[in-house]
């Protein structure tokens, strides 16, 4: 029997940022250009043309959405983990430029 479990994996944060679909309660958003109102099943941003490879949920992910998203070929990441690290790197880069 297969079940959903979170697993740790090293990934390139910039690669994720360039190809991330952020899924909300009813619609999704392109993390790269912030185009909103996208379908949860979309694989390419209609505004900037980014091909989505990763998906993250703003709220706790429900199993029914996990099945739907992975069937479209997207890899699911923990959006909170990603956002914390993304903002940390962004702040560090900003402070190093001063």
Q: Where exactly are the structural domains of the chain?
A: 13-96
Pick from 33, 40, 35: nearest CA to 59: 40
Q: If you search the block for the tokens 């900037």, which residue do you land on? A: 48
Going by pLDDT thresholds of 50, 70 and 90, the confidence category of residue 66 is confident
pTM (two decimals): 0.88
Going by pLDDT thresholds of 50, 70 and 90, the confidence category of residue 44 is very high
Look up residue 72 and give its DSSP letter: T
Query: What confidence score (pLDDT) does residue 98 get?
Result: 61
Higher pLDDT, residue 87 or 63: 87
Mean pLDDT of 47-59: 95
């Amino acid at each position: 029997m297969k079940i959903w479990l979170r697993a740790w994996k090293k990934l390139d944060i910039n690669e994720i940022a360039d190809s991330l679909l952020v899924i909300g309660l009813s619609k999704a958003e392109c993390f790269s250009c912030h185009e909103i109102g996208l379908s949860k099943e979309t694989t390419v941003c209609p505004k900037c043309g980014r091909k989505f490879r990763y998906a993250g949920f703003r709220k706790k992910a429900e199993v029914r959405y996990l099945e739907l998203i992975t069937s479209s070929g997207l890899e699911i990441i923990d959006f909170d983990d990603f956002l914390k690290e993304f903002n940390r790197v962004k702040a560090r880069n900003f402070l190093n430029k001063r």
